[in-house]
Structure 1
């Protein structure tokens, strides 16, 4: 039995060392798309245990009655921030540098129900403690629009 526990612990350490999330944290925000009966749902996910790099994913979706709902335009912006004293951040995909410790990546789809982004965050700096991933999204159809936000923090 001790060997099994040791092997499981070793696998967990190896996974954390390579940046593969052993667990994830997430957040979700929703709002109604006026006059359509549809919902706009925004999600943010990120790893919560890492040794070097942390994976992240954000999405904006439109649904109606539990199914996909196509809109004219759907957007998603991922904002990833390294939190800590003198924190820095590099991101893949690189996105736009907002500050030394914050990057943004945006995606827009036409005539679709989803816009999503995923990547790898590489925090640096002295005493870096955590990463925050936020997702801001919007949907547009027949002259109406709606926006929602979500933030995941380990």
Structure 2
């Protein structure tokens, strides 16, 4: 019964063209922040199924022993790409156009542990097959820096 309800929910999301269905795909990557015992983690999430638009989120976080770890500067860049023949992409927030089918949005925070971005991707063109969302981030503290990245493709 649970599978039937999940399938019905997914079908409902597809039919209504929901930007963010309950089904999502994600990826993460991390690297140490040298000399601090902390790590820098990049995360990327996007909808798994869509009829019109697809929601996405990216973040860069710093943690130490599972707890928030404040750094001097932390940044995140979301790169969203529509994959397919003659694919185009509109993005909200609009970000910087890298190409006809790729947009980037960046965010930087100071004296905190997280930088995150979320929005809606609107692919166009003929024969779009998928969307790719990548998260690239960096953290800086006391003269050291660490970078991490993650990408998810439906």
The answer to whether the Cα contact below 8 Å between 2:24 and 2:46 also exists between their aligned partners in 1 is yes
Q: 3-state SS of the aligned residue for 2:131? A: strand
- Structure 2 regions of 5+ residues with no counterpart? none
**Separation in 1 of the partners of 2:87 and 2:76?**
25
Instruction: Give the alignment of 1:9-24 within 5 angstroms.
Output: 11-16=9-14, 17-24=17-24
Q: 2:56 matched to which residue of 1?
A: 56
Q: 1:128 matched to which residue of 2?
A: 128
The answer to whether the Cα contact below 8 Å between 2:10 and 2:21 also exists between their aligned partners in 1 is no
**Separation in 2 of the partners of 1:48 and 1:135?**
17
Tell me the CA shift for residue 10 of structure 1. Answer: 5.1
Q: 3-state SS of the aligned residue for 2:28? A: strand
Q: 3-state SS of the aligned residue for 2:10? A: helix
Instruction: Give the alignment of 1:1-154 within 5 angstroms.
Output: 11-16=9-14, 17-154=17-154
**Separation in 2 of the partners of 1:22 and 1:69?**
30
Deviations 1:17-63 (A, max 9, x none): 22222311111010000000000000000011000000000000000
The answer to whether the Cα contact below 8 Å between 2:10 and 2:23 also exists between their aligned partners in 1 is no
Q: CA RMSD of the aligned region, Å?
A: 1.5
Tell me the CA shift for residue 15 of structure 1. Answer: 1.7
Q: How many residues align?
A: 150
Q: What TM-score do the two structures reach when normalised by structure 1?
A: 0.93
**Separation in 2 of the partners of 1:153 and 1:8?**
21
**Separation in 1 of the partners of 2:90 and 2:120?**
9
**Separation in 1 of the partners of 2:21 and 2:6?**
15
Q: 3-state SS of the aligned residue for 1:36? A: coil
**Separation in 2 of the partners of 1:28 and 1:65?**
17
Tell me the CA shift for residue 9 of structure 1. Answer: 5.2
Q: 3-state SS of the aligned residue for 2:40? A: strand
The answer to whether the Cα contact below 8 Å between 1:44 and 1:133 also exists between their aligned partners in 2 is yes
